[in-house]
Amino acid sequence: MQTFLRPKLLVSKCIEFDHCRYDGSMINSKLVEDLKEYVDFIPVCAEMEIGLPSPRQSLRLIGNENDQRLVRSADGKDYTEAMDTFSEKFLKENTKGIDGAIIKSKSPSCGLREVKVYQSYGKSSVVTKKAQGRFGKQLTEMHHMLPVEDEARLSNFAIRESFLTKIFLIAKFKDACGIRKMRDLVDFHSRNKYLLMMYNQSQLKYLGNLVANRDKKKPEEVYDLYYENLLKALSKTPSYKTKINMLLHIFGYFSNELNNDEKVFFLDTLEKFRDSKVPFSVPLSVLQTWAFRFNKEYLKNQTIFNLYPPELMTVTDSGKGRERE
Ligand code: SF4
């Protein structure tokens, strides 16, 4: 039975934690609500931390695509310095061990992308929608390799699945880091072989060489290099092609055991997946069933079959999600 470690996530406090938005409201997110049972959250509201009340007059970014100030929309009072100083201090002191973050979309403070930038305060037109909020910008600069998403993008099935996969994997790696024994790292790598293959086959190979440690590096050094390159591997989104490639590799395990009809059935299921007629979980479940039926110990322990707690899987919520990104 697979156990999952509790990832540590930074979260915008207005998502399911507090009524701290400019209008006194809170954002509802089923994902964040469900995650509370499995994750240690660090909630923060940057605007309240710089002394603003809730409700309050709204803030906005003004400037151009390359340079913005954070000001009060009504009268232009400038909060840029206060926000930047708070963000730097808070992120340095509180986010060292996080495994990812869930941030409120489009906020001039928290937003990670597509934040509106206005010409000026008061009545004014939007110049661009490409900026980041001041807090969101510092967060992504400091943790550019970690999974950091906003609640709006997480309504997409594929993005949500990838995010959950990464945070639970990173938490597991950190746990394996505990005493830094090479044997634990070899075990971690081995259990995650097919998961990593789906993300990035060349990084899988590189990580395999690191674990083999032919040049006899110290375990601490190997662990640090492994972590860096694990994050690099996870920074790619699995493509349709890499998913099918990984599924075929696992399918190869059963070539002597399956009869012809079963092989045709699986290849037909793969075709349906390729044509977006069935989700990724369908061919994957077929392979997992065979791993148990033919008692393939190595496969049974692969994390690809247990990416994150199944209670977090919302099959009915396809949202804007698609399997292909
Ligand atoms: S978006 Fe960020 S700053 Fe704005 S209310 Fe939410 S947590 Fe606070």
DSSP helix/strand/coil, 57: coil
The number of the ligand 1 atom at minimal distance from the alpha carbon of 43 is 7
Identify whether 2 is part of a domain.
Answer: no
Which backbone phi and psi does 12 adopt, to 5 degrees?
-65, 125
> pLDDT tens digit string along 160-219?
999 999 999 999 999 877 777 899 999 999 999 999 999 999 999 999 999 999 999 999
Single-letter residue type at 298: Y
Owning domain of residue 131: 8-155
Is residue 205 domain-shared with residue 282, that is, in the same domain? yes
Cα–Cα dist 251/259, whole Å: 13
- Tell whether 25 is covered by a domain: yes
Nearest ligand 1 atom to the CA of 110 is 2
Report the amino acid identity of residue 312.
Answer: L
The residue among 155, 171, 186 that closes a domain is 155
Nearest atom within ligand 1 for CA of residue 48: 8
Quick: pLDDT tens for 96-143: 999 999 999 999 999 999 999 999 999 999 999 889 999 999 999 999
| pLDDT of residue 321 exceeding 70 | no
Let me know whether 189 and 150 are in one domain: no
> Which residue, chain included where needed, has tokens 């507090």?
18
Domain total of the chain: 2
Question: How far away, in angstroms, is 234 Cα from ligand 1 center?
Answer: 28
CB atoms under 10 Å from CB of 59, counted, come to 24
pLDDT of residue 322: 43
Distance 124 CA to ligand 1 centre (A): 23
pTM check: above 0.85:
yes
What residues does ligand 1 touch, defined as CB less than 6 Å away?
A: 12-14, 20-21, 45-47, 104, 107, 109-110
Residue at 75 is within a domain: yes
- On whether both 139 and 201 belong to a single domain, the answer is no
Mark whether 51 and 80 lie in a shared domain: yes
Distance CA 275, CA 143 (A): 36
Identify whether 3 is part of a domain: no
Centre of ligand 1 to C-alpha 166, Å, is 24
Is there a single domain that holds both residue 294 and residue 166?
yes
The secondary structure element, H or E, covering residue 102 is strand 100-103
Q: Are residues 122 and 190 in the same domain?
A: no
Residue 1 maps to a domain: no
Four-residue CA torsion sign, 267, 269, 275, 276: negative
Q: Which of the listed residues 155, 184, 201 is the one where a domain comes to its end? A: 155
Q: What pLDDT does 262 receive? A: 97
Q: Specify the residue with its C-alpha closest to ligand 1, atom 6.
A: 14
Residue carrying the six token digits 């509201």? 45
Judgement on whether residues 174 and 322 belong to the same structural domain of the protein: yes
Mark whether 73 and 118 lie in a shared domain.
yes
Residue linked to tokens 């075709």 = 271
Rounded to the nearest angstrom, the distance between the alpha carbon of 319 and the centre of ligand 1 is: 24
In a domain, 23, yes or no: yes
Tens of pLDDT along 30-89?
999 999 999 999 999 999 999 999 999 999 999 998 999 999 999 999 999 999 999 999
- Tell me which of 98, 131, 155 is where a domain ends: 155
One domain, residues 72 and 150: yes
73 and 151 housed in the same domain: yes
Residue 122: strand, helix, or coil:
coil
99 in any annotated domain: yes
